Amino acid sequence: MGLFGKSKDSVDEVTDATLEKGGVLAILYFDAHGNTPEEVEGSLVNMGQKISQEKGVVYALSEIDRAMEAEDKFFSSGAKVRILTDSFNSLVRLCGMYGPMGVEVLKPNEIKIGPGEAHEILFTISEMSHEFTTTMMMKLMKPEERAAFGEKMKRRAEMGKKFIDDNEKK
C-alpha cells in the first residue's frame, strides 16, 4: 500500500489526472534549526502537515532527515516535501507562504499558462508582497498611524475587488 492506504496505481492515477488538468508535481526543500533535535524535527513535521492541508494541495509527502548537531550546540535538519498541486498558481502561493530553500518541478515537463492564470499568479505574488510589507509597517507604526494606514488598506482592498470584478465581467 502507498499514499494514505492507496495502491501505487491509485496514487499514479490521481497524479496523472491532476497533471492533465494543469497540476504540478514538485519537490520543496526546507531546512530548520533549533536548540534540540526534537524541536527541529517537530517543526518540520508540523510544517509538512500544514502544507498538506493547504488549499490547492492534492497531496504532500514529507521526508525529514534526522537532526544533527551544528555549530554552537544548535541542531539542524532538512526536509523534502513531494507535493502535487492543482495548479502552478497554487505552487507559487505555497512557495511564497513557506519559503522553501529550493524547488524542483518534476512534472509536467513544460508549464503552459494562459493570460487568466498569469494574472492569478501575478496577483498572488503582489498580494503576498503587500501582506509582508503591511505586516512589517504595522509593527513599526504608532497606534494613530496604524489606524490611518488601516483605513487606506481597506480602501485599497475595495478598489482591488472592484478591479477584479470588472475584469471578470469582460
CATH among 3.90.1170.10, 3.40.309.10, 3.30.70.1340, 2.60.40.420 for 3-111: 3.30.70.1340
Greatest C-alpha distance within the chain: 59
Q: How confident is the model at residue 12 (pLDDT cuts 50, 70, 90)?
A: confident
Tell me, what's the pLDDT at 138? Answer: 72
Tens digits of residue pLDDT in 35-68: 999 999 999 999 999 999 999 999 999 999 998 9
Phi, then psi, of 126 in degrees rounded to 5:
-60, -45
- Examine the pLDDT at 132 and tell me if it is beyond 70: yes
- Examine the pLDDT at 115 and tell me if it is beyond 60: yes
Contact assessment for residue 24 and residue 108, using Cβ atoms and an 8 Å cutoff:
yes
Distance CA 60, CA 66 (A): 19
Tell me, what's the pLDDT at 2? Answer: 44
- Examine the pLDDT at 87 and tell me if it is beyond 50: yes
Tell me, what's the pLDDT at 157? Answer: 74
Contact assessment for residue 44 and residue 65, using Cβ atoms and an 8 Å cutoff:
no
Tens digits of residue pLDDT in 142-155: 888 777 877 777 77
Mean pLDDT computed over 100-125: 90
Contact assessment for residue 85 and residue 57, using Cβ atoms and an 8 Å cutoff:
yes
Tell me, what's the pLDDT at 1? Answer: 41
Average pLDDT, the chain: 85
